[in-house]
Structure formats: C-alpha cells, structure tokens
A and B are shown apart, each in its own frame.
Chain A
Amino acid sequence: MSAVRIPFILLCLVLIPLRSSAANLDSLLAFYADRLTSHPYFAASFTQSRHLAMFDTPLVSTGTIYFAAPDRIRFHYKTPFESVILLSQGTMKRYRIENGEYVEQPSLEIVAKAITREITRYLSGEFATEDFPYDATIDPQNNRHMVLIPSRSAAKAVFERIEITFPADPVYIKEIKLVEPNGDFILVEHEKPSFDELPDSLFSALP
C-alpha cells in the first residue's frame, strides 16, 4: 500500500504547484484582458520598426492607430508615405493619399490581414480566451511582459513568438513584437494613448 502511496504523494507534490502556476497565469491573463477591454476605444501614435537581418538599420513607419473593440482598426501612416489601412469586421482596405485624395492600393491581403488580425487580437484581450492559438507565458520577474508561442502550425509558419509589453496600468499595449522563425521581427510601439470615443466614420470605407 505504501509503495502505491509514495509515488501518488510525489505526483501530487509535482502537480499542485503546476496547477497553481497555471491558475495564476489564467488569472493574470484574465486580469490583462479585463483591463484592456475596460476602454472600448483606443488611439495612440505608433512607431513600427521592421528589422531584417539583411540590413543594418530597421525600416521605420510612423503614424496613428485607432481601435474600436472588438475588431475595427485604422492605421493612418505618416511615414514612409501617407496611407491608411482599414480593418473592419474581417475586411481590409488600403489607400495611399496623393494630393489629399485617397487612392485604393492593391493589397497583399493574406499577410497584411494576418498582421492586422494579430494586433487586433491582442488589443481586444483575446489571449484570455480558450481558443486562442498561442500558449501564453508571463515573465515571473516582470509581470508586464507576456510571451505568446504559436500552438498551431499555421501560426508557427509565420511567427516564432509574439512578445507583448504592458504599461504599469495595462489598459493598453505598449509594445508588440512579432518575431518570425528566422529571427526577423516587427516592433510596434504605442505612445500618447487616448481612450476617447471614436466616430464610426473613422473605420468606414473611404470614398
């Protein structure tokens, strides 16, 4: 009997902390999701750096991001050239602005959609849901740093991991780093956040 008991007790000793750790992670994820969704609107200036190993310096874009939960997003780029990307309810439109006119751009829907879709997921706190296709971990030394590892092969082909950094009060995401399998990455940094209500027209298709 004792021969059976001892391994059982040892197993419990191993499993209990794991379960407790998982519960802790779940509660942290829920906490972040709750804080993020406490504001249905989000706007901020952003700097987006594309790091490619083949170049010494990153390719940098700047602009303003507008987000309305759960799935509407507008990127208004100022550099490298003025342009707008609209993502609303799964459809994407891209425009370049020439002399004040919005000219629709041909779009590489698959890749661009994947990136904007990922950003939308995090902004709306989807990482706390059960069907989220990533395994989340939070740095025990730094609760504001979350790492997401793709758990499905489709996502694995595109991203090796995604790192998210929250500010002290996690009502928005300060940084998102999308790391590709070969080490190249995109870093999006948000600054000057605002949570005022945004007009619907901001997310609708442009003339």
Chain B
Amino acid sequence: MKPIVCSFALAYLLWLSCTPAPMHARAAGGHLASLPKRAMPGEFGGVCDIRVRGEKLRTRARIRYHEDGVAVALVDELGVALALVTADSSGTEVAKTFPPMGHASAGPAGIYMRALLLAIEREYRTAGVFVGDLLPEHTVLVYAGGRTPDSLHVRKQAGHVYAGIISASRYVVLSPSRDTLMVFSADTPFY
C-alpha cells in the first residue's frame, strides 16, 4: 500500500511542477493580480483624483462595461460632467466631452478609444498579461507584455477619457490630462 501512496504523491508533485503556473500579472510593486477569464459586465466607479492643469481635482468616475460597448464619465459631486465618453464594442464613436477638455469631438477620440480597447482586448485574450502598477492617488499605469503605455496608444492622445479592462473586476480610466490613469474595482465604493 505504501509504495502506491508514495508513487501517487510523487506523480502528483511531478504533475504540479510541469503544470504551467497560473496566469497572473505582477505589478511593479510586487502585487499579484489574478487574470480573468473574461471581463465582468456592469457598472463600476468611485472617487478618484485627477489632475486638471496640473492641479489635483477630486472627482468620481463611473464606467459601464457591457457587451455592446463601454461608457465612461467623470462627474463631480455637484453633478457636473467633466467628461462623458461612450463607444461601441468596436471602439467606434465617442459621445461628447465637456470642459475642461474643450469641445465635443467624435473622430479622433473614437479611433484612439478603439485602439486602446483593441489593444487591451488583444493582449487580454492572447498573452493575458497585464501589469497594473498602482501608484499613489489611485494612479495606475497599465501596460502589456512589458510594453510601455505608449505602445498601447494610451499616452499619445489628448483631451479625452479612455477606458479599458485590466481584470475581470478592475477597470481603468485615463484622465483628460493624460497623466493619470485611474483604476476601479468591484469593491470600490460606488456613488
């Protein structure tokens, strides 16, 4: 009986050692984040700090992610919309923006939104590796496969808000000032 048990334990250990490690992303700070099988549809959001003309502005963000597309808004406590963006699942079209981003713009924002979403989706589906580097003030830098944010066309764009998914329950928004990416999770207080 004993040799059988030992053999079984040895085989199990061997199997474990040969099995690929669970897919995960390692943040620069050393955090581990489980990768999702697929993103979780729903509404997420919470309080966040963004920078407007170099000054910190506390506001709140809301993201609605569903199969048909994504909607993102920055809305202050008074109810003033700092930015509203919607895009369909292909990333096409963006609704509108408000000050301080300037006038509403459909074309370029839609294209870059699409580029961002496609990039995130592609990496998410294939390599499945996203690195969330959580910085103070809810800032997060997101990049995939060791690439810089620039390669995701995240940091080159001006004047709009973008959204993406970094895990099943974590969503990311790029602020209008382009220097802040905010991350929200399902357990972020929701207002």
A13 at the interface (CB under 8 A from B): no
Q: B11 at interface (Cβ–Cβ under 8 A)?
A: no
User: Looking at the complex, which of A75-83, A138-146, A162-170 is the stretch in contact with chain B?
Assistant: A75-83
A111 touches B58 (CB 8 A): no
- Interface contact B79-A79, CB-CB below 8 Å: no
CB distance from A56 to the nearest CB of B (A): 6
Q: For the complex, is B115 an interface residue (Cβ under 8 Å from A)?
A: no
**Are A115 and B78 neighbours in the complex by a CB distance under 8 Å?**
yes
A48 to B82, CA, bound (A): 17
B62 near A81 (CB under 8 angstroms)? Answer: no
Instruction: Please tell me which stretch of B68-76, B126-134, B142-150 contacts chain A, meaning at least 4 of its Cβ atoms lie within 8 angstroms of it.
Output: B68-76
If A54-B84, A59-B191, A80-B189 touch, whether A108 touches B76 (CB-CB below 8 Å) is yes
Contact (Cβ within 8 A) A75 B78: yes
Which residues between 32 and 89 of chain B lie within 8 Å of chain A, taking CB atoms?
43, 45-47, 52-53, 55-58, 60, 62, 64, 71, 73, 75-82, 84, 86
Q: Which B residues touch A105, using CB under 8 A?
A: 57-58
Q: Considering the complex, give the chain A residue whose CB is closest to the CB of B64.
A: A55
B108 lies within 8 A of chain A by Cβ: no
- Beta-carbon nearest neighbor of B57 in chain A: A106
> Which residue of chain A has its CB nearest to the CB of B49?
A96
Assess A61 versus B62: contact at CB under 8 Å? Given A54-B95, A111-B99. no
A80–B53 Cα distance when bound, in Å, is: 23
Name the residue of chain B whose CB is nearest to the CB of A75.
B78
A95 to chain B, nearest CB (A): 10
Please report whether the interface of chain B is mostly helix, strand, loop or mixed according to DSSP: strand
Which B-chain residue is minimally distant from A54 (CB atoms)? Answer: B71
Is B100 among interface residues, defined by CB-CB distance under 8 A?
yes
CB distance from A201 to the nearest CB of B (A): 22
Cβ-based interface call for A15 (8 A)? no
- Of residues 47 to 75 in A, which have CB atoms within 8 Å of B's CB atoms? 48, 50, 52, 54-57, 59-61, 75
Q: B191 touching A60 by the CB < 8 A rule? A: yes
Known contacts A80-B191, A115-B80; 11 additional CB pairs below 8 A are A54-B73, A56-B43, A59-B45, A59-B79, A77-B77, A81-B77, A83-B58, A85-B78, A105-B57, A106-B52, A111-B99
19 A–B contacts from the bound complex (CB under 8 Å)? A48-B78, A50-B79, A52-B62, A55-B62, A56-B64, A59-B60, A59-B73, A59-B75, A61-B77, A75-B78, A79-B191, A80-B189, A105-B57, A106-B53, A106-B55, A108-B80, A108-B99, A112-B76, A186-B79
Going nearest first, the 4 A-B pairs with the smallest beta carbon separation are: A80-B191, A50-B79, A54-B71, A106-B55
